[in-house]
């Protein structure tokens, strides 16, 4: 890779890093090609990205971005996995891969701009999908209004039932 290509790679990576709030750093030492291909396929299936870049280029690209906080973890074989929107889905795919493929190990994670220890990645992967959480929130917000509407309708309904009984 010549100097121009490196400069272009760093520029492209820097643009990607600026747009990201969340990503995972993975140690892929000893990962077989078949397993790497399968992991890439699973990540692509959820519209995520999996990159393997030289650490020095990644560190240069990370300057003045949130990813710079992870600078100390760019040692040894490091892969970068990210999803522009759904971090939980990516965490689920990666933890499943880490269970099945011993060569895949988490180094660190950046979630919503904050460094997250490896021990908490399991908790993030256990969260329900974003749509499920939003649905639960809507139900919680809707519940008091539905109960109020039911309470307000009860006297009218009861009056109608009493009048119906009197008529019979």
What mean pLDDT comes out for the span 137-149?
A: 81
What's the angle, vertex CA 117, arms to CA 104 and CA 86, rounded to 5? 70
What mean pLDDT comes out for the span 69-85?
A: 88
Q: Reply yes or no on whether the pLDDT at 66 is more than 80.
A: yes
Contacts for 34 with CB less than 8 Å, ≥ 6 apart: none
The fold of the 3-127 domain, in CATH, is Alpha-Beta Plaits (3.30.70)
Helix 55-62 with 3-19: angle, nearest 10 deg: 50
Sheet of 105-111, strand order: 49-52, 78-82, 23-27, 105-111, 114-116
What's residue 50's pLDDT?
Answer: 92
What's residue 41's pLDDT?
Answer: 93
Give the HSE-up count for residue 152: Cα atoms under 13 Å, Cβ half-sphere. Answer: 6
At 81, the pLDDT band (50, 70, 90 cuts) reads very high
Q: Where are the domains of the chain?
A: 3-127, 128-168
Over residues 25-61, the pLDDT tens digits come to 999 888 889 999 999 999 999 999 999 988 888 888 8
Over residues 84-134, the pLDDT tens digits come to 888 888 888 888 888 888 888 888 888 888 888 888 887 777 777 777 888
């Amino acid at each position: 890779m010549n100097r121009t290509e490196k400069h272009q790679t760093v520029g492209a990576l820097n643009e990607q890093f600026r747009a990201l709030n969340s990503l995972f750093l993975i140690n892929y030492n000893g990962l077989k090609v078949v397993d790497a291909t399968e992991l890439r396929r699973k990540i692509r299936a959820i519209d995520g990205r999996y990159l393997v870049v030289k650490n020095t280029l990644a560190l240069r690209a990370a300057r003045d971005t949130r990813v710079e906080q992870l600078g100390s973890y760019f040692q040894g074989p490091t892969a970068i996995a990210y999803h522009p929107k759904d971090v939980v889905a990516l965490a689920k795919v990666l933890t499943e891969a880490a269970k099945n493929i011993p060569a895949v190990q988490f180094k660190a994670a950046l979630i919503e701009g904050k460094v997250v220890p490896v021990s908490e990645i399991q908790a993030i992967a256990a969260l329900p999908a974003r749509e499920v959480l939003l649905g639960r929130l809507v139900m919680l917000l809707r519940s008091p209004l539905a109960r109020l509407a039911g309470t307000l309708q009860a006297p009218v309904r009861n009056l109608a039932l009493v009048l119906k009984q009197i008529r019979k």
